Amino acid sequence: MTEILKTTLTTWIMVSMIAGALFGTFINFQGLEESAFVQEFLVEGVFSVIGAIFISALKMLVVPLVFVSLVCGVTSLGDISALGRIGCKALILYLLTTALAVTIALALAVFVSPGGDYILNSGGESFTARPPPLLSKVLTDLVPSNPIAAMADGNMLQIIVFAILFGVSMTLVREQGGRIRDFFSDLNGIIMKMVGLIMYLAPIGVFCLVARTFTLQGADVIMPLAGYFLVVITSLLLHAGGSFSLLLKLVGGLDPLIFFKKLRTAIAFAFSTASSNATIPATLSVVEDRLGVKKSVAAFTVPLGATINMDGTAIMQGVATVFIANVYGIGLGMSDVVTIVLTATLASIGTAGVPGVGLIMLTMVLTQVGLPVEGIALILGVDRLLDMVRTAVNITGDATVTCIVAKSENALDRDIFSDPAAGVVQASP
């Protein structure tokens, strides 16, 4: 019994994720997913209700956590000019890694050429292309005309802008700033405690979310699209295991094995919720407590990454474009490939970190290269499973860039990074 209590929370989360996948696959494999008991009691009952409560509990923390952490992060920075430097480094790395991700995906997709033997039967779904956002609109939208509305809408970029301005002003007004700083630092402690408490729900929440998806999505959904599915998964693994590991090692001088081992908890959150945004509390707590990144960097780069950095999504979009072109028998030239890299990188900025949005943004990429947006109906069936894996890659990208930027700013504590016990949470409070 005491051994069970000593098990870490991460282990429980991993166990429940695997158990959920096995349980759901078993039900689906047995063909039980149509039965009234499974549908009403499990899928739409227990799994849906507990899963929804877990996701809402995470989302509940995102806005207060990002705002308070960022205010504390900016005030602890001391040197305000460092903010611009951190922002530029993060932005450049986010864009470069996304462009690299699509390039890997396109190379693999063109090589394997999935979809050539796909039998086209129109699913009857119709899609309207989403126009690319205007740069002027993107820029004006950065500044909230009403910060409370920005918080109510969960508009992450606007919250980031307001929090930075608030933190900078707090540093500039010395006396009052000091009093409010103490208040925010206490508030931050309370919110981090809330994150910690909700983490204890994770094993049950993760089990329900994963079991629900696997119950509904069986091998019969994947088989007709096996080529597409496998190319996306392989590209995601190549980018996560290859590009991120190399970047961590060569640019950051950090051990990728330690990084991945510690990031497992956040990866499990991303996989089960399929939402980078809902995963922000988990990513922030792993990056700060377990990987040793200072709040002054993490509080800025993690929410920014969850909003604009979507390497996994860009990978799916690259492979999907080649797949749809193949199915419709339309050839893609070199200029199309360049267009796909650029559009998918930009689409990634506009993709909100919530489930399924990557597929909507795919309409933008397809339109740019003149492919029929209806093609999306073909890949709809397997998108939920791919969304889970690509979201895990999206947040891994955020954490990778955060560690590299922190390292270059001397804001990463190597002792915490290398200590296997740092920030470990036991399964019982």
Where along the sequence are the contacts to ligand ASP (CB under 6 A)? 274-276, 310, 313, 351, 353-358, 387, 390-391, 394
- Tell me how many helices (H) and strands (E) the chain has: 22, 0
Least CB distance to ligand ASP at residue 189 (A): 28
Q: Which residue, 33 or 383, is less far from ligand ASP as judged by CB?
A: 383
Least CB distance to ligand ASP at residue 276 (A): 3
Q: Which residue, 296 or 391, is less far from ligand ASP as judged by CB?
A: 391
Q: Which residue is nearest to ligand ASP (CB)?
A: 358
Distance CA 281, CA 207 (A): 19
Q: Which residue, 156 or 291, is less far from ligand ASP as judged by CB?
A: 156
What type of residue sits at position 82?
A: A
Q: Which residue, 71 or 382, is less far from ligand ASP as judged by CB?
A: 382
Tell me how far CA of residue 261 lies from CA of 14, 237, 248, 272, 421, in angstroms. Answer: 11, 15, 14, 18, 12
Least CB distance to ligand ASP at residue 125 (A): 17
Least CB distance to ligand ASP at residue 353 (A): 4
Distance CA 380, CA 5 (A): 42
In the chain, the largest separation of any two C-alpha atoms, in whole Å, equals 70
Q: Which residue, 27 or 57, is less far from ligand ASP as judged by CB?
A: 57
Tell me how far CA of residue 235 lies from CA of 261, 336, 349, 387, in angstroms. Answer: 21, 20, 20, 14
Contact indicator for 364, 132 with CB cutoff of 8 Å: yes
What's 266's DSSP letter? H
Least CB distance to ligand ASP at residue 320 (A): 11
Least CB distance to ligand ASP at residue 386 (A): 8
Q: Which residue, 252 or 355, is less far from ligand ASP as judged by CB?
A: 355
| Sign of the CA dihedral running 71, 72, 75, 81 | negative
